[in-house]
Structure 1
């Protein structure tokens, strides 16, 4: 049976690149903001490139802010998607969806922002989400980061250590862009689709 993958479309930038990455892996993802399509999907991807408060406003208009935290299937937040799944972000003082119990803060002015480039990530040896991905570098582009918390499953470093990935129950989040991180990123997408 064909896997149904919903890519949440809420007007954030760069979501087509997720669709292309899935195509390269032999899967098809549908871009949608339809609650019925999202709820009936086998896997849900919550991507995003953009500004937090305007993205949250778009989620509220479509009611997705209430829907996303109730989803029972595996959900993957990417970049801004992951940040919006946290309690709060300093970007425009925006309240998040409260799925991950941590806050998103801005990098100090001691470093160049956005943090853009390839970073190695550190995971626990037993971390299932990453276990079939060889160690390697992931591609990051961001000016805000999620603080390390109990739900952190991978970290990286840019001036300070921060959450490269989060996980709670059926919810996963990555700050990096797996769709732009070569074969290692593709393996992480495969791991998610195989959950």
Structure 2
């Protein structure tokens, strides 16, 4: 059994993610302290909450998140992915700085938040996309988008009048702007692929 931790910022319901992972036969535990994230096969930063309180919860215990995580695979969803970057227009706190760039608000010419299904434009092969077809539909709920310094971290985009980085990856950090746990069979396949990486 793959042992997975979901880091809970205390901001919302993470039941749907826990449920989706358990359907893939993962053992899932919810943790609220960074120093409790050691010893897992994989870690999820879920997509619920606001940037500053989430970052503050990661930094609260004066323990370095990156040191604790080491080379453990990490999957960031929506806000969880946005925290990989240097900063966000949603808050004033510094991000984790795993990926260079910032997170910017969607243009006010669009309906914000963006809620609904959009197609993936796959830019390059990736371990979590094995078996996922280009043009597959996934479910978004967001008001911000990643703006990386270099394009090489972008695995897939989605078109919402602006190009939105939908999947990013750097080293052992995988992130999706959409919610795989709410994206039907396509999202379930990505979670399954990630869990396979956690077993290696």
Gaps of 5+ in 2: none
- Taking a change above 3 Å as real, the CA distance of residues 95 and 22 of structure 1, as seen in their structure-2 partners, is same
Question: For residue 132 of structure 2, what is the aligned residue in structure 1?
Answer: 133
Maintained 8 Å contact 2:2/2:25: no
Question: For residue 65 of structure 2, what is the aligned residue in structure 1?
Answer: 67
Which secondary structure does the structure 1 equivalent of 2:87 belong to? strand
In 2, distance between residues paired with 1:122 and 1:133?
11
Which secondary structure does the structure 2 equivalent of 1:94 belong to? coil
Q: What is the TM-score when the length of structure 1 is the normalising length?
A: 0.91
In 2, distance between residues paired with 1:108 and 1:124?
23
Partner deviation per Cα, 1:107-164 (whole Å, 9 max, x = no partner)? 1110110000001011135333212223410100000000253211111111211210
Maintained 8 Å contact 1:165/1:175: yes
Q: What is the TM-score when the length of structure 2 is the normalising length?
A: 0.89
- Taking a change above 3 Å as real, the CA distance of residues 162 and 37 of structure 1, as seen in their structure-2 partners, is same
Alignment of structure 1 residues 1-195 onto 2, 5 Å: 2-63=1-62, 66-68=64-66, 71=69, 72-135=71-134, 136-148=136-148, 149-195=151-197
Maintained 8 Å contact 2:9/2:32: yes
The Cα of 1:102 is off from its aligned counterpart by: 1.9
Q: Give the length in aligned residue pairs.
A: 193
In 1, distance between residues paired with 2:35 and 2:55?
20
In 1, distance between residues paired with 2:58 and 2:72?
19
In 2, distance between residues paired with 1:27 and 1:50?
24
Maintained 8 Å contact 1:33/1:62: no
Segments ≥4 residues shifted beyond 3 Å: 34-37
In 2, distance between residues paired with 1:83 and 1:172?
11
In 1, distance between residues paired with 2:171 and 2:14?
24
- Taking a change above 3 Å as real, the CA distance of residues 190 and 58 of structure 1, as seen in their structure-2 partners, is same
Gaps of 5+ in 1: none
In 1, distance between residues paired with 2:171 and 2:83?
17
Q: RMSD between aligned alpha carbons?
A: 1.7
